Amino acid sequence: MASIKSLDDFQTWQKSKEVNKLVATAVNCPEFQNFLKLKNQIINSSMSVMANLAEGFGRQGNAEFIQFISIAIASSVELRSHIQGACDFSLINKEKGDEIISKSNEVEAMAFTLMKKIKSSSYRGWKYKSH
């Protein structure tokens, strides 16, 4: 945890950024023209993963970081559900859907690992550090 000094050092956030790029290309197609609500839900849940990881990191306290990681994981699960639905409606092809789901699973695994490390650490966070 001490090696993460900025978002650019935060591998879980970087991986979530990759998922966002995959999502953007997957939903930016004519098939979604009649499914704009689903398209927006997919984009919003994907962005929520990245945003909650960033916000938790920015809170500078481990308890808050854990809370926001948990929210990011939940948003990732939501994203996977929406992607599956889009595949079921043939809005996204199976290969692209599987790729997004696989990368989302990687983000979740990384987030769970990070959460465990934070929970087992006696370090409370940067904002509690004496100056």
- 57-78: pLDDT as tens digits: 888 888 899 999 999 999 999 9
Report if residue 1 sits inside a domain. Answer: no
The confidence band for 128, taking pLDDT boundaries of 50, 70 and 90, is low
- What whole-number distance in Å separates Cα of residue 11 and Cα of residue 13? 5
Tell me phi and psi for residue 114, to 5 degrees.
Answer: -60, -45
On whether residue 127 sits in a domain, the answer given is: no
Range 94-105 average pLDDT: 98
Domain contains 89: yes
Instruction: Write out the residue range of the structural domain in which residue 70 sits.
Output: 36-120
4-23: average pLDDT: 92
CATH number at residue 93: 1.20.1440.60
Is 40 part of any domain? yes
Total count of domains within the chain: 1
Contact 64, 11 (CB under 8 A): no
The predicted model scores a pTM of 0.89
Residue 125: band (very low, low, confident or very high) from pLDDT cuts 50, 70, 90? low
Residue 3: the pLDDT is: 62
